[in-house]
Amino acid sequence: MVPQKSKLLLLSIGCQLGKIGVFPTDMEGGHSSELAEKPMTTISRHCFGDDSEESPFSISIIENMKEDYGLFVWPCSIVLAEYVWQQRLRFSGASVIELGAGTSLPGLVAAKVGANVTLTDASDRTEVLDNMKKVCDLNKLKCNVMGLTWGVWDASIFSLHPKVILGADVLYDTTGRFCFLCVRVCCLS
């Protein structure tokens, strides 16, 4: 029988020194049978650096395993976040915008290394935007979170003047709106 203690499952990915893998527990050491009936909510931890580097850290992401693109970490997001970490000196002090941020891992890494970050996703995806705010709070990071729907004119985006535009797994849109938005943001910066 599965104890019904907690609805939140913690999921640590590869953060235990010398161990690689997924280490699931809930807040009280058990699992909830409700998780099987509802989309599973997890907190994944993504680690950057190691003991040989001066300041290793981790970013925790709240994920909801349902069929909404913006509520779970995509593999390309992990790769882009690692790139931000590897190039952290370029990001320190920079103005950064992450388009289609979803769970926001690359933008959060940029904020952690000292960038001034704006995280965006579609304006009508309030659950995703709310999750971004929760993840920022969870990681004690101050990022601007705003709705931005591709193809819809929003003058507020042009006042940001980003030095860096991040986008992970955003080129699935065959209309080319992402590239068009990048050009508009860059040209008006």
In the chain, the domains with their CATH numbers are 74-187 (3.40.50.150)
Q: Is 60 helix (H, G, I), strand (E, B) or coil?
A: strand
Q: What is the largest CA-CA distance in the chain?
A: 60
* CA-closest candidate to residue 102, choices 122, 79, 117: 122
pLDDT at 35: 42
The answer to whether the CB of 178 falls within 8 A of the CB of 171 is: yes
Both tokens of residue 146?
A: 């705003």
Both tokens of residue 147?
A: 């709705």
Residue by residue, pLDDT tens for the chain (189 residues) are 444 433 333 333 333 333 333 444 444 444 444 444 556 788 999 999 876 666 889 999 999 877 666 788 988 999 999 999 999 999 999 999 998 899 999 999 999 999 999 999 988 889 999 999 999 999 999 999 999 887 777 777 778 888 898 988 776 656 656 566 665 655 555
Burial category of 120 from C-beta neighbours within 10 Å (exposed 0-12, middle 13-18, buried 19 and up): buried
Which residues are CB-contacts of 17 (< 8 A; sequence separation ≥ 6)? 50, 51
Both tokens of residue 40?
A: 């599973």
pTM, whole model, 2 decimals?
0.73
Cα dihedral sign, 74-184-174-121: positive
